[in-house]
């Protein structure tokens, strides 16, 4: 089953509900939405995995990247708080395998969704370069955040850098 993301702004945070798979196809639209919200003053992201059937490494690396997103506030640079609610055994196992519970706040009690109207984010990609950059950035966060991920994703990152260079040569 393909996945999609529904979002809303709620009390200084983004609430994002993952339906189906959280993967590279919906991680990009989520990142775009969250980055725009951060630029407007939002400082928290709540990700609800109750309806999520699985997570790929790009989606998880994108979540990790939110925690290190620099938020400029005058002379200070703050990081974003990312909270995961309603993780299923499957999604918790996936996140744990890559070390995400070390940096994300994972609630171990059920959290009811807020009473808001959710907006469904677009799915898919506008261009190959943006997709390659998202996948690269996500895996870079996973490797930088947990050295155990370096053996798993190091060769993949090297291949992505090569692919990105080829895209740049094709475009220029």
The DSSP-derived string for 56-112 is -HHHHHHHHHHHT--EEETTEEEPPEEEEES--HHHHHHHHHTTGGGTSEE-SS--P
Tens digits of per-residue pLDDT, 3-30?
A: 999 999 998 899 999 999 999 999 999 9
Beta-carbon contacts of residue 119 (< 8 Å; ≥ 6 apart): 6, 7, 8
Residue % of the chain over a pLDDT of 90: 60
Q: How confident is the model at residue 97 (pLDDT cuts 50, 70, 90)?
A: very high
> Sign of dihedral through CA atoms 36, 73, 41, 46?
positive
pLDDT of residue 168: 60
Most confident of 108-117, 127-136, 159-168: 108-117
CA dist 3 and 106 (Å) reads: 21
Q: Quick one: 94 exposed, middle or buried, by C-beta within 10 A (0-12, 13-18, 19+)?
A: buried
Q: What are phi and psi of 123, to 5 degrees?
A: -120, 155
Give me the CATH code for the 4-124 domain, please.
Answer: 3.30.750.24
Ranges of each domain in the chain: 4-124
């Amino acid at each position: 089953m393909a996945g999609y993301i529904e979002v809303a702004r709620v009390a200084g945070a983004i609430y994002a509900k993952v339906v189906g798979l959280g993967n590279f196809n919906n991680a990009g639209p989520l990142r775009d939405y969250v980055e725009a919200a951060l630029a407007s003053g939002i400082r928290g992201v709540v990700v609800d995995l109750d309806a999520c059937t699985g997570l790929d490494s790009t989606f998880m690396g994108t979540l990790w990247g939110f925690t290190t997103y620099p938020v400029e506030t005058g002379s200070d640079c703050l990081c974003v708080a990312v909270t995961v609610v309603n993780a299923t055994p499957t999604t918790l196992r996936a996140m744990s395998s890559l070390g995400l519970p070390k940096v994300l706040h994972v609630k171990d009690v059920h959290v009811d969704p807020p009473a808001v109207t959710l907006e469904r984010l677009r799915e898919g990609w506008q261009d190959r370069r943006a997709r390659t950059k998202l996948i690269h950035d996500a895996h870079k966060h996973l490797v930088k955040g947990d050295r155990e991920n370096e053996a798993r994703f190091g060769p993949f990152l090297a291949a992505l850098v090569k692919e990105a260079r080829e895209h740049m040569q094709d475009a220029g």
